[in-house]
Amino acid sequence: MRIEINKPEFLHDLCDYLSRHGFVAVRASLEQADVLVPDAGSDLAALLLLKARIRAWAATHPGIDVRVDQYA
């Protein structure tokens, strides 16, 4: 999956956060990163796990929007 953030200066922090929680997050461009969810049993489970973790991160980073593209 690919994520895109509206404030690129926070992408590294988000990728680090996801990595600390068992995801594989690799920067793909200035505003985007590719994310793998290794232990998800399905694409839907991966999407839900990723969105939940992003919501938790975003709760402490007001004003930052993260879009998830599950087909990228």
E-strand stretches of 1-72: 2-5, 24-27, 32-36, 66-69
62 exposure class (CB count in 10 Å sphere: 0-12, 13-18, 19+): exposed
Can you give the pTM of this predicted structure? Answer: 0.93
How many domains does the structure of the chain reveal? 1
**Residue span of the structural domain in which 63 resides:** 2-69
The pLDDT value given to residue 71: 84
Q: What is the pLDDT of residue 57?
A: 98
Q: In 3-state terms, what secondary structure has residue 60?
A: coil
Q: By percentage, how much of the chain surpasses pLDDT 90?
A: 94
